[in-house]
Amino acid sequence: MKNIVILISGGGSNMAAIVRAAQQQDWAHRLGARVAAVVSNKASAGGLVFARENGIATEVLDHKSFGSREEFDAQLAKIIDQYDPALVVLAGFMRILTPGFVQHFEGRMVNIHPSLLPAFPGLHTHQRAIDEGCKFAGCTVHRVTAELDVGPILEQAVVPVLPDDTADTLAARVLTQEHVIYPRAVAQLMRA
């Protein structure tokens, strides 16, 4: 069985979309894959409740308990490695990962970003798209590399930017597409 470990920091809506897709599409039998664990850096992350309710192992590792990013990432890698992951999925995990961590999971880690990369890496993507007068925005599933938001693109979805959009309304429209393309991209990687 190919194990998927998902990292979250909050509500985990993309994680939930992946878990639902795995259940509905019977990834265990069709792809030999399963979501084995959900790990969060925040004990209060709402997504942990969803994971537990769906019989998925959960782990919490508070980044504030560590003196450095490197120490946190080293311990995080140990926790993830317990599940022998075929794929590590970043789903709203709000931590910049160290090069050593990224290298450890090289070729086995993906992220979703709420813009049409290479446009608008980093934060505040929706407001930046509106401020620049973009007619379209979207989201991107990409492989994770040591450089933030520049890994090879696996899938993208496009939404229009409407004249009366705010960052929040645009974010909500983009999020619906994230919930479509992220599970699809993960399933495709599990087929490989």
The residues carrying an active-site annotation are 113
Task: Give the C-alpha separation, 12 to 51, whole Å.
Answer: 9
Number of H helices, E strands in the chain: 7, 7
Whole-number Å distance between alpha carbons of 150 and 44: 30
Q: What is the C-alpha separation between 12 and 91, in angstroms, rounded?
A: 7
- The residue among 91, 182, 171 whose CA lies nearest residue 129 is 171
Q: What six digits make up the tokens of 143?
A: 């492989």
C-alpha to C-alpha distance for 187 and 169, rounded to whole angstroms? 28
